[in-house]
A and B are shown apart, each in its own frame.
Chain A
């Protein structure tokens, strides 16, 4: 409905050229359509107009009546019979712009040679186009103490600031985090934080990127490089399933920074701080650089590629083996694992889920997720968004920004099925309900956004699967999960969404792969594979790519000890330490590939760093398969991508929907039902080494109800101990409106690693006492 309304078009004349644009278009943007660049600082297409910098002054005439003074073209929408004269045709506009530029520069330090922005600076560039070559200002410049750490990650050099208010408007209008404001007045006006509240927004990095001068800089990039020494490559973010377009900037083989890329239909021009600043893992000293094999006396030693491949093939040939893919693979790599399992290992024992999971979820994925077509633009049009065990600000930040945009714009109603209202939910004004059956007011324009944690509540995915009114989307946390589903890296799915149990689906793949048969038995899940490794007649070997066993369960690592382990990894880890063969694989910046975001939209990326010796997983798996004489014939990422495209999507009968029963825990006395999720900035392995980023993490607290607080005799900030038979965690209490029988803790934050410490992260009874 919203898209079908015809937009009124208006024709205006700018510098003698006619241009026709939709009603409401600002003059500055209509001029862009003609290729006329009006200089500007405060203007930003995604922020509300400010008219503050006055750099974009032009002469405007409507119906033959000229404005007496030049007008800010960033604040005035086009009108019929409007004639605009920019600096190109109006001497008044030209002088006005030059005058503003001169004024902007009188208090600017002109320290371009030491400024991070130098070389890519709108002020520098426009001073070249619109400024004077020599200053007429001979007085005293305004100076400030520099820099101010407005968070552990963002630094502010106030004397460079042109006070365009882009950063403060972004924080308020886009992120909903008005932690920075303009303080003081006149020439002493400055961006500032509240006295003791740093700029701990998950989206603070965007302010650095949209700052039109070098006033805001990121602590990790400050003074590290000159823009003209960097080689930029369009990339896709590997941190979550939001699907952000990124730009990766590399100097001499080292990633120095990442910026949000432009993609109007996905991340617009934004990304989150994790996607922007968590990349030290790429160049960590812990990277595996050479193949490793375990020698006779049990020590890992470096080996040649042929030797390592031979050892892996020998250890896997003729064995009953399983495959754990991990949730961060590209589609092409996941496809390699999928085909390797079926062809080389002749098994469906493959699973990408390195997290708590159920068979119900696998059925939900095979029957429901593969058919979902919900997109970001559906959020723009929704009449009601329901979040089901999904915290967008922590788990898919761009989804959060998109929902928040509509909340701000048209007061979109949001309901969250969650134990309590998180900060993100508060910003969305979300109504909190405890279970999905309490959600009401759903129409065909409503959207249900289901998080991966929905699998942790028995029966929930079954009831969502059978929901018929609203649109559904499934939003996993990791970037590779949706792609792994399409690649068939799951025990009940072949590539293209083909059910393993469907004979004609198997025939499809058999003929495409040129193999005589495919295994017919449904594969084991991640936890079943791990269990089978330690049982008679179970599994004898395992191929693991990029899995942290502690994400699965506290027992997982132990279950890997007495079996033949082939590990494909970028860095040394708990798995590589016990593996028999370790094969180094390339990280995202070192290869090409594709992620599918939660919408199923392909997010292709190019190799940003050339010339590394490591290879993509798919190529290594292909080499092992060759060595095993069961070739999968995927010598490159390109070959895999071509083969995936040639397979197409399954259009046959859909898999059976899940129908698991629900169950309910009840807690009494000092017992509580444990709930948790991962916060955006936490101990995730891809954030390793990012101390500046870690400094902006939200505090680690345990959320309890006021009733529990009073029965325990604790108030905000007092320590409480949460324990199971496995162990305990002690955290400061935070009292909030959480249901009385529940407690919430961060799943993987400093001091609160639920799976490792408690043996579980959700839906178990814990004991809560005052510490």
Chain B
């Protein structure tokens, strides 16, 4: 029996899954009606009891985050949904919003009601225009159906939902940078405290949640805590989207209970691409330290991955086979972090600038083993020294690749160049076989 547990993705195959009718046909918006009949605090308690943890990467308990909002403080509260998905490898929120945008809208209604917010915002990565249009349509349809706006469903709850397109910055996925960007400033992380729960958007109490976290809420409200707790592991409850990409036969999103292993996921994805074997992989995007063959049976929940020395992150499993040069892959990621560093703090801004140059030298086979130690020492001066976690993410692939593949780095230096054929790792490698001089 397949370990798949499609909830959010249950109806992605339906031709009209993204429409209001399609969503309603499969029970959509019933959870919202149910929640609006509850006390807001009871909704918060329900989510707390369910054990839902943030799906954006850090895994912070969602109900607890909602509970941090000071109630009856006479201030406007805001819900902000972080849809600025831009981590290399991470591709769960965009497909979810393409196929099932109403699950997010319904989750927003419930969450806003729970935290007493009358304004909610979706901060969407601006480049994905097709997703923007689809979510915009879903919001318009929800307004037309009386699911947003004044006196929702006749229950006396008002909610305005604004879709905001970001201008394309990875840092705006960091929640305080996102808030700055949403307010119209340059996206750079804010000093904390104050935390967003006390002074977030426009200095008002604000909850910032990931798309998948909020979209998971309606199913929990509809089916109850026991249903949700029956899935997953002891401290990582429920279902989630795992995204497999790279050298697998059938890449894509696989929704399963937390705690599934890569070995199981690979089976569902049809295995590695033909004739190749697994070399290394990231459990949750490029910012999470990489794993190798030996980690195939690590349970992919917050605790399991943490115990094995990485982070569950966004459950974006990038799979690389033996044709991939790890130095080259790490250089590409590092170039990404250099490009996306916001520039606010020294270690990230200057450090990523240096790391790219250092890795380019190593990839070209220039240097000695002392340079490998120097690389690790530079990373040690960057990780844990920066303003936000971006630089920590930049350090992860370097440290973890050096841990598992130091010989491969050394080999570059020994032969004075890269031993890999870069074409061999491409999807079109087979097409070129024999044709390449």
Contact A186 B354 (CB under 8 A): no
> Which of B126-134, B215-223, B311-319, B378-386 lies on the face that meets chain A?
B378-386
CB distance from A729 to the nearest CB of B (A): 41
Q: Give Cα A139 to B351, complex, Å.
A: 12
Other-chain contact of B340, A69, A103, A163, A186 (Cβ < 8 Å): A186
Residue B343 lies at the interface, judged by CB distance under 8 Å to chain A: yes
- How many Å lie between the Cα of A54 and that of B347 in the bound state? 8
Q: Is A99 in contact with B347, judged by CB distance below 8 angstroms? A: yes
Min C-beta distance of A203 to chain B, whole Å: 22
Interface of A is mostly: loop
Chain B residue numbers with a CB within 8 Å of A69 are 384-385
List the B side residues contacting A185 at CB < 8 Å.
169, 171, 186, 340-343
A145 within 8 A of B: no
Please tell me if A81 contacts chain B, counting CB pairs below 8 Å.
Answer: no
B384 touches A51 (CB 8 A): no
Residue B403, interface by CB 8 Å: no
Chain B, Cβ-Cβ closest to A184: B343
**Is A140 interfacial (CB-CB < 8 Å)?**
yes
Complex: chain A residue closest to B383, CB-CB = A69
B30 at the interface (CB under 8 A from A): no
A186/B385 contact (C-beta < 8 A), A52-B346, A140-B357, A163-B349 known: no
Q: Judge if A104 is at the interface, Cβ distance under 8 Å.
A: yes
Contact pick for B354, options A70, A95, A139, A163, CB 8 Å: A139
Residue of A nearest to B186 (CB): A182
Contact partners of B342 in chain A: CB under 8 A: 185-186, 189
Please tell me if A649 contacts chain B, counting CB pairs below 8 Å.
no
Is residue A53 contacting chain B, with contact meaning CB distance below 8 A? yes
Distance of A70 Cα from B347 Cα, bound (Å): 13
* Total count of chain B residues near the partner, CB < 8 A: 32
Task: Say yes or no: B353 contacts A186, CB within 8 Å.
Answer: yes
Q: Does B345 belong to the interface (CB within 8 Å)?
A: yes
Residues 88 to 128 of chain A near chain B (Cβ within 8 Å): 95-96, 98-100, 102-104, 106-107
Given contacts A100-B347, A182-B186, A186-B340, contact A57 B385 (CB under 8 A): yes
CB pair A187–B191 under 8 Å, yes or no, is: no
Within 8 A of A (CB), among B330-363: 338-347, 349-354, 357-358, 361
Given the interface contacts A53-B345, A54-B347, A103-B347, does A186 sit within 8 Å of B352 by beta carbon? yes
Q: Which among A55, A70, A98, A140 is the interface contact of B346 at CB below 8 angstroms?
A: A55
**B276 interface residue, CB < 8 Å from A?**
no
Q: Given that A103-B346, A182-B343 are contacting pairs, would A51 and B338 also be in contact in the complex, using a CB cutoff of 8 Å?
A: no
Cα–Cα distance between A621 and B380 once the two chains are bound (Å): 72
Q: Which residues from B are CB-within-8-Å of A106?
A: 350, 353-354
User: Which chain B residue shows the least CB distance to A96?
Assistant: B385
Interface residues of A in 121-158 (CB under 8 A from B): 136-137, 139-140, 142
Q: Are B387 and A186 in contact (CB under 8 A)?
A: no
Question: In the complex, what distance in Å separates the CA atom of A182 from the CA atom of B187?
Answer: 11
A104 with B357: CB separation less than 8 A:
no
From B379, which residue of chain A is reached at the shortest CB distance? Answer: A99
- CB contact list, B358-415 vs A, under 8 A: 358, 361, 374, 378, 380-382, 384-387
Known: A99-B380, A99-B385, A137-B354. A189 touches B347 (CB 8 A): no
Chain A CB within 10 Å, residue with most, of B169, B345, B349, B378: B349
Q: Pick the most buried of A100, A140, A187, A188: most chain B CB atoms within 10 A of its CB.
A: A187
The CA-CA distance from A187 to B356 in the complex, in Å, is 12
- Do residues B385 and A70 form an inter-chain contact, with CB atoms below 8 A? yes
A100, B346: Cβ atoms closer than 8 Å: yes
Over the window 52-63 of chain A, the binary record of Cβ atoms lying under 8 Å from chain B Cβ atoms (1 yes, 0 no) is: 111101000000
Given contacts A99-B347, A186-B349, contact A54 B340 (CB under 8 A): no
Residues of chain B within 8 A of A142, CB atoms compared: 353
User: Within 8 Å of chain B (Cβ to Cβ): is A413?
Assistant: no
Q: Verify B343–A70 contact, CB threshold 8 A.
A: no
C-alpha spacing A659/B399, complex, angstroms: 83
In the complex the two chains form, what is the Cα distance from A514 to B345 in whole Å? Answer: 70
Report yes or no: A49 in contact with B384, Cβ–Cβ below 8 A. no
Instruction: Give the distance in Å from the alpha carbon of A51 to the alpha carbon of B357 in the complex.
Output: 26
Query: Which of chain A's residues have a CB closer than 8 A to the CB of B339?
Result: 186
Per the bound structure, the CA–CA distance linking A354 and B349 in Å amounts to 56
Instruction: Answer yes or no: A75 CB below 8 A from chain B CBs.
Output: yes
Q: Which residues of A contact B382 (CB under 8 A)?
A: 99, 103
- Given A106-B354, A139-B354, A185-B342, A52 and B347 contact (CB-CB distance below 8 Å): no
Whether A174 is near chain B, meaning CB under 8 Å from some CB there, is no
User: Among B349, B353, B381, which residue has its beta carbon within 8 angstroms of that of A99?
Assistant: B381
Q: Give the interface centre of B339, B361, B374, B385 by most chain A CB atoms within 10 Å.
A: B385
State A162–B339 Cα separation when bound (angstroms).
Answer: 18
**C-alpha spacing A68/B385, complex, angstroms:** 11
Min CB gap A91→B, angstroms: 12
* Chain A positions within 8 Å of B357 at CB level: 139-140
Distance A355 CA – B407 CA, assembled complex (angstroms): 84
Distance, CA A98 to CA B169, complexed state (A): 30
The answer to whether A104 touches B346 (Cβ under 8 A) is yes
**Contact residues, B130-186 vs A (CB, 8 A):** 169, 171, 186
Chain A residue nearest in CB terms to B391: A54
CB distance from A330 to the nearest CB of B (A): 46
In the complex, A49→B339 CA distance in Å? 26
Which chain A residue has the least Cβ–Cβ distance from B348? Answer: A186
Task: Bits for A160-186, please: 1 = Cβ < 8 Å to B, else 0.
Answer: 001100000000000000000110111
Q: Which residues of B contact A103 (CB under 8 A)?
A: 346-347, 350-351, 354, 381-382
Query: Is A51 within 8 A of B191, CB to CB?
Result: yes
A50 within 8 A of B: yes
Q: Which residues of chain A (184-215) have a CB below 8 Å from chain B?
A: 184-189
Distance between B388 CB and nearest chain A CB, rounded to angstroms: 10
Distance of A83 Cα from B116 Cα, bound (Å):
40
- Within 8 Å by CB of B381, from A102, A139, A187, lies A102
- Neighbouring A residues of B169 by C-beta, 8 Å: 185
Taking the closest CB of chain B, its distance from the CB of A744, in whole angstroms, is 33
> In whole Å, how far is A484's beta carbon from the nearest beta carbon of chain B?
48
Cβ-defined contact, B343 with A100, below 8 A: no
Chain B contacts of A55 at CB under 8 A? 346
Q: How far is the CB of B287 from chain A (nearest CB, A)?
A: 16
Q: How far apart sit A50 and B351, CA to CA, in the bound complex (Å)?
A: 19
Are A70 and B191 in touch, CB under 8 angstroms?
no
**Residue in A57, A98, A99, A186 whose Cβ sees the most chain B Cβ within 10 Å:** A186
Contact with B along A31-58 (1 / 0, CB 8 A): 0000000000000000001111111010
Measured CA separation A41–B295 after assembly (Å): 44
Given A70-B385, A106-B354, does the pair A186, B343 have CB atoms closer than 8 Å?
yes
| A residues 677-711 in Cβ contact with B at 8 Å | none
A96: chain B residues within 8 A (beta carbon):
381, 385
Cβ contact within 8 Å between A189 and B349: yes
Kindly report which residue of chain B lies nearest to residue A164, judged by CB atoms. B346
- Which residues of chain A have C-beta atoms less than 8 A from B350's C-beta? 103-104, 106-107, 187
Contact B191 A75 (CB under 8 A): yes
The residue on A at minimum CB distance from B338 is: A186
In the complex, chain B residues whose CB is within 8 Å of the CB of A57 = 385
CB neighbours (8 Å) of A139 from chain B are 354, 357-358, 361
Distance between Cα atoms of A137 and B377 in the complex (Å): 12
CB distance from B399 to the nearest CB of A (A): 15
Q: Given A136-B374, A186-B349, 6 other A-B contacts at CB below 8 A? A: A99-B380, A103-B347, A140-B357, A186-B343, A186-B352, A187-B341
- 23 A/B residue pairs, CB under 8 Å, sorted by A: A49-B191, A51-B345, A68-B384, A70-B384, A70-B385, A95-B381, A99-B347, A99-B378, A99-B381, A99-B382, A100-B347, A103-B381, A104-B346, A106-B354, A107-B353, A142-B353, A163-B346, A185-B169, A185-B340, A186-B343, A187-B352, A187-B353, A189-B342
Interface residues of A (CB under 8 A from B): 49-55, 57, 68-70, 75, 95-96, 98-100, 102-104, 106-107, 136-137, 139-140, 142, 162-163, 181-182, 184-189
User: 10 closest A-B pairs (Cβ-Cβ)?
Assistant: A99-B381, A189-B343, A139-B357, A103-B350, A69-B384, A186-B341, A187-B353, A185-B343, A186-B343, A54-B346
